């Protein structure tokens, strides 16, 4: 029998900021926990964005709702893909390099995930820091903004 403990949902989208809400119910139809929300923002580069969401081991049904992350306008997105993954008993880290809470109720769960997967987050943060530092070095950011202003304002 397949044990869903440590399972995550991976949802992909490639256009705009999308709010994903996951509501899990047990065999009796009762909600197991507060609905979980994830916000997916558009990437700098082409390609889908994804979210990993923990499934409760008692969940019999999962309702996934997609909406515009910040207002009521319609969203344009590709057909989402949902995958169910079986991970090790300690679970799969919720993110590659860091975690962002969509609302304050998520903070305790995210902190638990960071403690449980501390080695993963330390390693990936160190890898990501090199790329992030080169992209956001003060002089690079300054001259990049000057170039953008120059393109928008040809008289400069």
Token pair belonging to 71: 């207002």
Residue 12 has a pLDDT of 53
Q: Print pLDDT tens along the chain (156 aa).
A: 344 444 455 555 555 688 888 898 998 999 988 778 888 877 666 767 777 777 777 888 888 888 888 888 877 777 777 777 777 767 778 877 778 887 788 899 889 989 999 999 999 988 888 887 777 777 776 777 676 665 555 554
Q: How many CB atoms within 10 Å of residue 25?
A: 17
* pTM for the structure as a whole: 0.59
For residue 31, what is the DSSP state? B
Measured CA to CA in angstroms, residue 93 lies from 2, 72, 87, 112 at distances of 20, 31, 10, 10
d(CA 70, CA 74): 11
For residue 57, what is the DSSP state? T
Residue 5 has a pLDDT of 45
């Amino acid at each position: 029998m397949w044990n869903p403990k440590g399972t995550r949902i991976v949802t992909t989208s490639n256009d705009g900021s999308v709010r994903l809400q996951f509501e899990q119910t047990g065999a009796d139809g009762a909600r197991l926990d507060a609905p979980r929300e994830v916000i997916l923002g558009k990437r700098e580069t082409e390609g889908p964005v994804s979210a990993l969401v923990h499934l409760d081991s008692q969940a019999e049904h999962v309702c996934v709702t997609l909406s515009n992350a910040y207002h009521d306008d319609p969203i344009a997105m590709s057909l989402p893909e949902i995958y169910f993954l079986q991970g090790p008993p300690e679970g799969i880290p919720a993110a590659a390099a860091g975690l962002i809470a969509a609302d304050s109720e998520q903070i305790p769960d995210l902190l638990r995930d960071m403690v449980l997967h501390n080695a993963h987050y330390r390693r990936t943060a160190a890898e990501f820091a090199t790329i992030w530092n080169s992209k956001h070095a003060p002089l690079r950011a300054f001259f990049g903004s000057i170039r953008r202003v120059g393109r928008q304002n040809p008289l400069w």
